Amino acid sequence: MITKKRAFRFFFIALVFLTFIIVISSAFAAAEPSTTQEVVEKGSRMPWWVWPLGLFVFTFVLGIVAVLGGVGGGVLYVPIVSGFFPFHLDFVRATGLLVALSTALAAGPGLLKRNLASLRLAMPTALIASAASIGGALVGLALPTNVVQTLLGATIIMIVFIMLSAKKSDFPDVQKPDALSTALGITGIYHEESLGKDIEWHIHRTPLALLLFIIIGFMAGMFGLGAGWANVPVLNLLMGAPLKVSVASSVFLLSITDTTAAWVFINKGAVLPLMVVPSIVGVMLGSRIGVKILVRAKPKAIKWMVIGLLALSGVRALLKGLEIWE
Amino acid sequence: MGNDKAKASQEQLVYANLLGKGALTGLGLLVITFIVYITGVLPNVVPFDKIQSYWKLRVGEYIHQANSPTGWKWVGLLNNGDILNYIGIVVLAGMTLICYLRLIPIFVRKKDTTYLMIVIIEIAVLLLAASGILTAGGH
């Protein structure tokens, strides 16, 4: 039996290990050649296999930390890997999208079968978000790297504030479903195991939420972050879907939004198998370990540490973009 | 136990089953092709000793320097270990499109015109992104 104390100790070790990998990678990445000419002429000082292996170990620990901290792997992956590893932001964003996509594809079927994720809720929102994500990906690939890196840092810091301030509501009170959600038939019933009863839900403020999904989709495509941090507050607090339905539908929604943006990066040639495969396998294996620990214990302090890690990587991305901390 | 009303709809179950199988296939292919890649059984478009010289570059610069494929040109280079990995990646990225195509006959049968339209427009969006039309012109 894993107690809260043991889970916390496990998490703390993982976090220290993660910090260690970040510091080591950062030190080696800083020692690598930096200009295009230098890079092509001199190559690298490290054997090629060091970075994929380091990425696998890093993403394995990240998978554990992300699950225990209640955040998606993508939101931690992009700022940390772009800030502390030698890969260009273009490849990191492409891989970040594929990491978020893979985890969504792995979790989506189970959530749909249990009727926690709602196809009727996700499809209209996904249509808006996925179309916008194409625009975000194209803009992100066209803008100068330092601009995208700066905007990424600012976005991560904003996410930290959202995580600190946003409240969650298990069963929001929806007095009357709006006309659009009624016309689209967005409603559902799911079995709430903690209460032992079926919960019927409706939503409201659908037009405003759909407008917000344009912004969410655009940012997901631009930064390759996944967008659970934004999907859940909009689905839960604005539209009034129950928390479990919001979280599950958000995961499923990511499988559609991130797919669309990922295609843009794939067609641009921004996919490096040496980055993509170790990252996906590492995060997925780590997440499985994380879930096993999570079902037994979830110390609240973990959330604060993950927020701290996110804030640090956000500041790092911001300073790197502004060329203050290279 | 919940009653029947709390159970997932037919289209949701069909989508979930197809997505589950596709995700598993994609991940399996990803691992197998990666093993083929790193064992060096096949030649690579970008050799191992060169790849880390390129991954610090912007993608356009990388494509130019490494002569790596864009769009769907990778299909013609599948005899290379690094390009072989695209199969798993494309299966993962293509699953949503396949699942949406599978929803069409269900919504037609149910005469759910609104969701049928949503499905068709989403397929158009996905095809547009996957076609490479939007990214053509650059590297």
Q: Look at residues B89, B58, B60 and name the one whose alpha carbon lies nearest to residue B72.
A: B89
Q: What average pLDDT does this structure show over B16-41?
A: 95
Look at residue B16 and tell me if it is in a domain: yes
B52 with A255: Cβ contact below 8 A:
no
> B52 to chain A nearest CA, in Å?
6
Look at residue B4 and tell me if it is in a domain: no
B92 with A275: Cβ contact below 8 A:
no
> pLDDT at residue B1 above 50?
no
Contacting residues of B for A273, CB less than 8 Å apart: 33-34, 37, 82, 85-86, 89
Q: Look at residues A85, A87, A28 and name the one whose alpha carbon lies nearest to residue A62.
A: A85
> pLDDT at residue A186 above 90?
yes
> B41 to chain A nearest CA, in Å?
16
CA quadruple A215, A218, A223, A227: dihedral sign: positive
Contact A242, A279 (CB under 8 A): no
Look at residue B139 and tell me if it is in a domain: no
Look at residue B5 and tell me if it is in a domain: no
Look at residue B73 and tell me if it is in a domain: yes
> pLDDT at residue B11 above 90?
yes
pLDDT by residue (tens digit) across A89-129? 999 999 999 998 888 888 889 989 999 999 999 999 999 99
pLDDT by residue (tens digit) across A197-238? 899 999 999 999 999 999 999 999 999 887 888 888 899 989
pLDDT by residue (tens digit) across B79-116? 999 999 999 999 999 999 999 999 999 999 999 999 99
Dihedral of CA atoms A121, A124, A128, A129 in degrees, nearest 10, equals: 30
> B72 to chain A nearest CA, in Å?
7
Q: Which of the two residues, B137 and A325, has the higher pLDDT score? A: A325
pLDDT at A24: 67
Name the token pair of A309: 């890690």
* Count of structural domains, chain B: 1
pLDDT at A38: 59
Q: Show contacts of A2-10: CB within 8 Å, 24+ apart.
A: A2/A293, A2/A296, A2/A297, A3/A296, A3/A297, A4/A297, A4/A298, A4/A299, A6/A297, A7/A68, A7/A293, A7/A296, A7/A297, A7/A298, A7/A299, A8/A297, A8/A299, A8/A301, A8/A302, A10/A64, A10/A293
At residue B70 the predicted structure's pLDDT band, cuts being 50, 70 and 90, is very high
Q: Is A192 helix (H, G, I), strand (E, B) or coil?
A: strand
Q: Which domain holds residue B33?
A: 11-131
Q: Is A191 helix (H, G, I), strand (E, B) or coil?
A: strand
At residue B139 the predicted structure's pLDDT band, cuts being 50, 70 and 90, is very low
B51 with A272: Cβ contact below 8 A:
yes
CA quadruple B16, B127, A98, A82: dihedral sign: negative
pLDDT at B137: 53
Least confident stretch, A85-89, A301-305, B44-48: A301-305
Contact A87, B55 (CB under 8 A): yes
A198 with B121: Cβ contact below 8 A:
no
Q: What average pLDDT does this structure show over A251-262?
A: 92
Average pLDDT of chain A is 85
Look at residue B2 and tell me if it is in a domain: no
> pLDDT at residue A294 above 70?
no
Q: What percent of chain A clears pLDDT 90, i.e. is strictly above it?
A: 45
